Copies of this chain bind each other. A is one copy, B any other.
């Protein structure tokens, strides 16, 4: 059974839509790197039961991403936020070096706080 590392990422977004056993199976398999046998022991189900849980859960995650595209959208949002951060840093250093405007400095501070909050909202 090949590991698809996108699964770990999608689990963060859509994990709440899975059953407890499905979510735990994926978490042990992808994030903790346990074997099917070890996961089965932890969850009190058979090796084959673990395999079934993982397959079904992966299918749910990929279907949700196909329909809602949350992971793709958040990754694009993340890129744009990084770009804004980069340009705010440029404005900041230009201001500090040359103009030393308090108004601009205050606005930059607020924007940096907003960017921090945005980063938290998309993770």
CB pair A90 B70 closer than 8 Å = no
- Of A24-32, A33-41, A43-51, A107-115, the one touching chain B: A107-115
The answer to whether the Cβ of A20 comes within 8 Å of any Cβ in the partner chain is no
CB pair A91 B115 closer than 8 Å = no
CB pair A67 B121 closer than 8 Å = no
Task: Name A's interface SS.
Answer: helix
Nearest Cβ on chain B to A68's Cβ, whole angstroms? 7
CB pair B121 A73 closer than 8 Å = yes
A108 to B95, CA, bound (A): 13
Nearest Cβ on chain B to A100's Cβ, whole angstroms? 10
Pairs A–B under 8 Å by Cβ, sample size 25: A13-B68, A16-B67, A16-B68, A17-B67, A17-B68, A68-B68, A76-B117, A77-B121, A77-B122, A80-B114, A80-B118, A81-B118, A83-B110, A83-B111, A84-B111, A87-B110, A87-B114, A90-B104, A90-B107, A91-B103, A91-B108, A94-B101, A94-B103, A94-B104, A98-B101
Interface residues in chain A, defined as those with a beta carbon under 8 Å from any beta carbon in chain B:
13-14, 16-17, 67-68, 70, 73, 76-77, 80-81, 83-84, 87-88, 90-91, 94-95, 98-99, 101, 103-104, 107-108, 110-111, 114-115, 117-118, 121-122
